[in-house]
Amino acid sequence: MALVLHHLNQSRSQRVLFLLEELGVPYEIRFYKRDPRTGLAPKSLREVHPLGKSPVLTDGDTVVAETGLIIDYLIDHYGDGRLRPPADTPERLDYAYYLHYAEGSLMPLLLIGLVVGMAARKAPWPLRPVGHLFDRGVHKAFLDRQLALHLGVLDRALANRAWFAGNELTGADAIMSFPLQAARKRYGLERYPALRDWLARFEARPAWARATEKGGALTFDF
């Protein structure tokens, strides 16, 4: 079996697993576990890619890292015309936009919140009140407004379409799944009905059920 997904639990590789299931291609999963104390990936992932991050895909001797590139690689080599809009269409431009936006604009906001919150929770107990005050200050001064801006724009983008790049599921939906699932878990999506409906459609797909069964449920408890 040529395709191997190097899969870290509770990570962004879950959406690559979903895409592999949507494509219906044969693949193997190699599992890696986060350090329970630090939440970081094990050093063994560096044997696959020098950064030691997940997801990483190997296809024979080819090593592909970064989720957006992995998605394009899989669709290029195994998509057979599926899961990406035709070239030179508005939908294709939307597809490319979200492929970059998910990791370039939305995910950094969520990571700031995760890191600041984790630092506050794991600080020595005499410093935890200060840590929690800092966490709340970062959210009040910056993160809450930025996340509301981004989520509002995304909600309006889905008001009249089923999927991010048109009326058919594409790789853009795969890459957007993790940050929006994380946003739902950490901040709630009560004010964003189109995003809630999109997540319901996404998670109702049989490929998502299979990905969850094989890769583990995403709880964002790290």
User: Does pLDDT of 122 surpass 80?
Assistant: no
**Residues 111 and 200 reside in one and the same domain:** yes
Q: How many domains does the chain have?
A: 2
For residue 162, being part of any structural domain is answered with yes
- Which pair of structure tokens corresponds to residue 39? 């939440």
In a domain, 222, yes or no: no
pLDDT confidence of residue 91: 98
pTM comes to: 0.90
Tell me if 188 is assigned to some domain. yes
Q: Torsion angle of alpha carbons 36, 41, 47, 49, nearest 10°?
A: 180
- Residue 8 is classified by DSSP as E
Distances (CA, A) of 126 to 3, 34, 38: 49, 27, 20
Residue 220 lies in a domain: no
Per-residue pLDDT at 204 exceeds 90: yes
Instruction: Indicate whether 78 and 102 sit together in one domain.
Output: no
- Domain hosting residue 136, numbered range: 90-205
- For residue range 180-203, list pLDDT tens digits in order: 999 999 899 999 999 999 999 999
Q: Which of 39, 23, 29 is nearest to 7 (CA)?
A: 29
pLDDT for 185: 92
The pLDDT tens digits of the residues spanning 9-66 come to 889 999 999 999 999 999 999 999 988 877 788 899 999 999 999 999 999 999 999 9
User: H or E element: which one contains 135?
Assistant: helix 128-138
- 107 and 175 fall within a common domain: yes
What is residue 143's three-state secondary structure? helix
